Amino acid sequence: MTTTPIVPVLPDTQVLQRLDAAHFLHPFTDHKALAEKGVRVMVRGDGIYLWDSEGRKVLDAMSGLWCVNVGYGRTSITQAVARQMETLPFYNSFFNTTTIPAVELAAKLARIAPAGFRHVFYTGSGSEANDTNVRMVRRYWDLLGQPERTVIISRHNAYHGSTMAGASLGGMSGMHVQGGLPIPGIVHINQPSYAEHGVGMTPEEFGVHAASWLEERIRELGPDKVAAFIGEPIQGAGGVIIPPVTYWPEVRRICDKYDILLIADEVITGFGRLGKWFASEQFGIRPDLITFAKGVTSGYVPLGGVLVSDKVAGVIVAGGDFNHGFTYSGHPVACAAALENIRIIEEEKLLEQVAHDTAPYLKARFASLAAHPLVGTAESCGFVAGLNLVRRKAGNVHYQVKFDPGLGVGMICRAHMFDNGVIMRAVGDRMIIAPPLIMTRPQIDELIGLIRLCLDRTLEDLERRGWM
Ligand code: PMP
């Protein structure tokens, strides 16, 4: 069947921009401002690089949206997807049926998940997976005869998705003010941000202190009302906030003390981003449920899910019908993509490469950016990293002088990055990266060189505006 394309075969950027502005409502976007500027059209990817419709090449230091872990242009994933589409593009897993890739992936995930995780519930996204968590933990407590255990504790500035439950679990105030969130039964404590809350303490002391906010809130609510605590091992969208090493073991101890389930949202940190399959292993989290998405398919097709520990699965399995699921739970094409993606990570030993070679190298190179006059702190963990733009530096993170948030210095810096061929994300005045795991040492050198150049350009720009 032939169809007439809506847009010319050779993309004309202005035509695409007009059509985009006329018809496409984007996520988290001021549409009027975007229409004035004109959207950037991405057309091709290869390895760690992207090209736009004007032929400009950029180094994608954000892996798309924290997801293209094995890089762009993997023909073996394309072929696995095509084979599955030709054989069986879709069948559901509702009515006593399954598909080969969905079963194989479930078994594979059980092998690579932390010990004590042998079950998976599939979804289409990270948000749906966190909605699944809410329903599953409440179902769990109901089956155990404690239906009043419904409250889930999360953290301010967390990101857990954009569905009603996902956005409620998240702690983004800008999201809560739109649409009457959070939904009932979800409360928030402060995030373990040493820069924000750790004044007068060592990072290790602060980690224990930040975990104590959880215990305080559990006592206020009454432990018999609390179902679970949820957190990202490292907060991603909140600005790459790396907690002190003392935080997660203390959180686990508190959850054990009050018999509260612990959910690790590993949508960003899963599938090798920190040099292990899951960050839970690295931080000593020992969660009861693990949310995943993104890196499971390297973003080639959408897939998410919840890894369910034996403790929770035992109760859910014994409990009869769990009335929850999505048309695309266990989509065979997505599962085929995930299987090939995981095979690539194993074959190319990307976990070992990141853990023992490229992440330590990135850590040293990224930390060197702290010498730049605009940079207050620059730190990384595995293949995520963040730096703070500051007006006046100081030896101690708590005494640096920040820019007025209204100036939008982070966005100015982000624009210089894009104009000079590198994608870095701005969260306020914090600039963050999460590069593809395939990045080599020479490519890390290239990245750091580009970031330094763009910091210089940003500094000149701010001086011209008289803001320094
Ligand atoms: N949890 C975390 C930690 C995330 O970073 C994200 C997405 N950035 C989500 C959940 C939501 O995933 P999705 O956008 O696939 O719904």
The percent of residues above 70 in pLDDT, for the chain, comes to 98
Tell me, in angstroms, the distance from the centre of ligand 1 to residue 127's CA.
6
Q: What is the pLDDT of residue 1?
A: 47
In short, whether 265's Cβ falls inside 6 Å of ligand 1 is yes
Q: What is the pLDDT of residue 394?
A: 86
Q: What is the pLDDT of residue 4?
A: 59
Tell me, in angstroms, the distance from the centre of ligand 1 to residue 318's CA.
30
Tell me if 151 sits within 8 A of 185, measured CB to CB.
yes
The percent of residues above 90 in pLDDT, for the chain, comes to 96
pTM of the model: 0.97
Tell me, in angstroms, the distance from the centre of ligand 1 to residue 295's CA.
11
Q: What is the mean pLDDT of the chain?
A: 96
Tell me: the pLDDT tens digits for 399-446? 999 999 999 999 999 999 999 999 999 999 999 999 999 999 999 999
Mean pLDDT within 266-278: 98
Cβ burial, residue 97 (10 Å; 0-12/13-18/19+): exposed
Ligand 1 atom nearest the C-alpha of 265 is: 3
Amino acid symbol at 380: S
In short, whether 292's Cβ falls inside 6 Å of ligand 1 is no
Which protein residue has the closest C-alpha to ligand 1 atom 12? 126
Closest to 310 in 3D by CA, of 129, 137, 119: 119
Q: What is the pLDDT of residue 131?
A: 98
> Which of 134, 164, 191, 268 to mutate to test ligand 1, by most ligand atoms within 8 A of the CB atom?
268
Phi-psi region of 186 (alpha: psi -120 to 50; beta: other; left: phi over 0): beta
Tell me: the pLDDT tens digits for 421-433? 999 999 999 999 9
Assess whether pLDDT exceeds 90 at residue 133.
yes
Tell me, in angstroms, the distance from the centre of ligand 1 to residue 237's CA.
9
In short, whether 412's Cβ falls inside 6 Å of ligand 1 is no
Per DSSP, what are the bridge partners of residue 120?
A: 307
Tell me: the pLDDT tens digits for 4-63? 556 555 569 999 999 999 999 999 999 999 999 999 999 999 999 999 999 999 999 999
Tell me if 335 sits within 8 A of 102, measured CB to CB.
yes
Amino acid symbol at 374: L
Tell me: the pLDDT tens digits for 286-321? 999 999 999 999 999 999 999 999 999 999 999 999
Tell me, in angstroms, the distance from the centre of ligand 1 to residue 292's CA.
8
Per DSSP, what are the bridge partners of residue 50?
A: 45, 58
Ligand 1 atom nearest the C-alpha of 66 is: 8
Q: What is the pLDDT of residue 339?
A: 99
Tell me: the pLDDT tens digits for 101-123? 999 999 999 999 999 999 999 99
Distances 224 to 148, 218, 219, 258, 320 between C-alpha atoms, Å: 7, 9, 9, 8, 24
Q: First vs last Cα of the chain: how many Å apart?
A: 61
Q: What is the pLDDT of residue 396?
A: 87
Q: What is the pLDDT of residue 250?
A: 98
> Which of 130, 132, 266, 294 to mutate to test ligand 1, by most ligand atoms within 8 A of the CB atom?
294
Assess whether pLDDT exceeds 90 at residue 323.
yes
Mean pLDDT within 212-241: 98
Q: What is the pLDDT of residue 89?
A: 98
Mean pLDDT within 171-185: 96
- What's the Rg (C-alpha) of the chain? 22
The three-class DSSP label of residue 349 is: coil
Q: What is the pLDDT of residue 140?
A: 98
Query: What is the β-pairing status of strands 57-60 and 49-52?
Result: antiparallel
Q: In the chain, what is the greatest distance between 2 CA atoms, to the nearest angstrom?
A: 69
Amino acid symbol at 456: D
In the numeric block, the tokens 């395939």 are attached to 438
In short, whether 298's Cβ falls inside 6 Å of ligand 1 is no
Q: ipTM more than 0.95? A: yes
Domains of the chain with CATH codes: 41-70+349-464 (3.90.1150.10), 76-347 (3.40.640.10)
Ligand 1 atom nearest the C-alpha of 126 is: 12
In short, whether 267's Cβ falls inside 6 Å of ligand 1 is yes
Strands lying side by side in the sheet with 42-46: 42-46, 49-52, 57-60, 422-423
